Amino acid sequence: MKRHAPWFSTMAVTAAFVATAAGDPTIDASKSSIIATFRQENVPVDAPLKKFNGRIDYNPSQPNAAKAALEVDTGSLDMGSSDYDAEVRKKPWLDSGTYPKASFISTSVKPGAAGHFDATGTLTLKGKTQTLSVPVTVGSAGKAMVFDGAFEISRAYFGIGDKEWNDVVDDKVKVRFHLVE
Amino acid sequence: MDAVQPDTSYTRTAVALHWIVALLISVGFTLGATMTDLSVSPRKIRLFAYHKWIGITVLGLVVLRLLWRLTHPAPPDEPMPRWQRIAAHATHWLLYLLMLATPLAGWLYSSAAGYPVVYLKLWQLPDLVSKNKQLANVLVEVHGYLAWTLLWVVVLHAAAALKHHFFDRDATLRRMLAWQRR
């Protein structure tokens, strides 16, 4: 079990952080979506992440104080077929057995034009972290607030996918989200 | 061997299109019948891409063939019993139908599966339907049945051509061989 200690503690810290930074989840996952788009042989393929939760605290009159914390189940990536689903959960890819969760926790928010802000925060994926600045658009759907945005990550940076795949699958993966509170 | 008169032969364009499409269908079918059973690998992804490019090429060339056929009539039939004439023409039109329907079903399946066709890695073709797993499961079956039906109709068509060539010793096959023309 010693071998597993680091990720257990990482997970515990992440979970605690999500809990304190986020309180109860406020995102309505049934109305929201997080979709990873990768390219294989230049074919763009949308793979939705089916399980996630999180919280966004946003007050239009105090956008600087906005906070976001999200947690995604890496094992919920839907590639559209069972053999690709199984492949992408393996060690060389997302290694969902060892790293079942990925998270984004905001550290600062910079308001832009009305209805826009840049959320800077830490993305944790497959045991590695990266600071990202994500442009977010705030909208509404009835009474609910809606947050839309996208960012790009590098597979190589997070160690996702063997080298043999690099000729076939692009390094860049685009992630776009549509979060409804 | 009798010399084939020009007006009893297909045009060079029709002959070229016929054999190019025949070759592409053979390669496309072989890829399709083998690639799906491979385990996930970069090679499998590439073979799927080649298979799709071949299918789209066939679709385009068959549209050209139909336009050519409609503007350049086929040579008159060789003397043969009425039932053979009807069977031959029915087979030809069935082949045209299957050569259009098979790649179209493949394209529809690609769209429904959420893996669009990017022809030659350059041009992304429009999705014919939106992503839908249930529909994709049906379309992949339809695509497969059409491909196997096409295979058997091609076998019938080739067997009939060989029968005319070796048993009836008429010009049916020769008029589809460019180098025999004039």
Q: What is the distance between the alpha carbons of residues A178 and A6, in angstroms, rounded to a whole number?
A: 32
B residues 36..65 contacting A (CB < 8 A): 39-40, 42, 45-46, 48-49
Q: Terminal CA-to-CA distance of chain A, rounded, Å?
A: 39
One digit per residue, pLDDT tens: chain B, 182 residues? 444 445 678 999 999 999 999 999 999 999 999 999 999 999 999 999 999 999 999 999 999 999 999 999 888 888 899 999 999 999 999 999 999 999 999 999 999 999 999 999 999 999 999 999 999 999 999 999 999 999 999 999 999 999 999 999 998 898 898 665 54
Nearest chain B residue to A81 by CA: give it. Answer: B113
Q: How many residues does chain B have?
A: 182
Q: Tokens 């008429």, residue?
A: B170
Cα A67 to Cα A10: distance, rounded to the nearest angstrom: 21
- pTM here is 0.87
Predicted pLDDT at B4: 47
**Quick one: pLDDT at residue B180?**
55
Mutation target among B48, B109, B115 for the A interface, most CBs of A within 10 A: B115
Quick one: tokens of A137?
Answer: 């658009």
Q: Which of B39, B46, B114 sits opposite A41 (nearest CB)?
A: B46
Q: Domain limits at A41?
A: 2-180
Q: How many domains is chain A built from?
A: 1
A151-167: average pLDDT: 95
Q: Is B137 in CB contact (< 8 Å) with chain A? A: no
Nearest in space to A74 (alpha carbons), one of A42, A51, A45, A105: A51
DSSP E strand boundaries for A7-91 = 33-40, 43-49, 52-57, 67-73
Q: What is the mean pLDDT of residues A75-82?
A: 94
**B45-B51-B53-B56 Cα dihedral, nearest 10 degrees:** -140
Distance between CA atoms of residues A151 and A145, nearest Å: 20
Look at residue B178 in the predicted model and tell me its pLDDT.
Answer: 65
Query: According to the model, what pLDDT value does residue A8 have?
Result: 47
What is the C-alpha to C-alpha distance for residues B60 and B54, in angstroms, rounded to an integer? 10
Mean of the pLDDT values across residues A74-102? 96
The band of A20, judged by pLDDT with boundaries at 50, 70 and 90, is very low
Contacts of B115 in chain A (CB under 8 A): 43, 45, 80
CATH number at residue A130: 2.40.128.110
- Using the CB atoms, write b or e for B101-125: b if 16+ within 10 Å: bbbbbbbbbbbbbbbbbbbeeeeee
User: In the predicted model, is pLDDT for residue A21 greater than 50?
Assistant: no
Q: For residue B49, how many other CB atoms are within 10 A of its CB?
A: 21
* Percent of the residues in chain A that have a pLDDT greater than 70, as a whole number: 87
Q: How far apart are CA B100 and CA B93, in angstroms?
A: 11
pLDDT mean across residues, chain A: 88
Domains along the sequence of chain B with CATH: 6-180 (1.20.950)
Record: contact B124-A44, CB cut-off 8 A: yes
What pLDDT was estimated at residue B103?
A: 98
SS3 A67: strand
The tokens describing B27, both together, are 């390669």
How many interchain CB pairs under 8 A, A with B? 44
Q: What is the pLDDT of residue A59?
A: 87
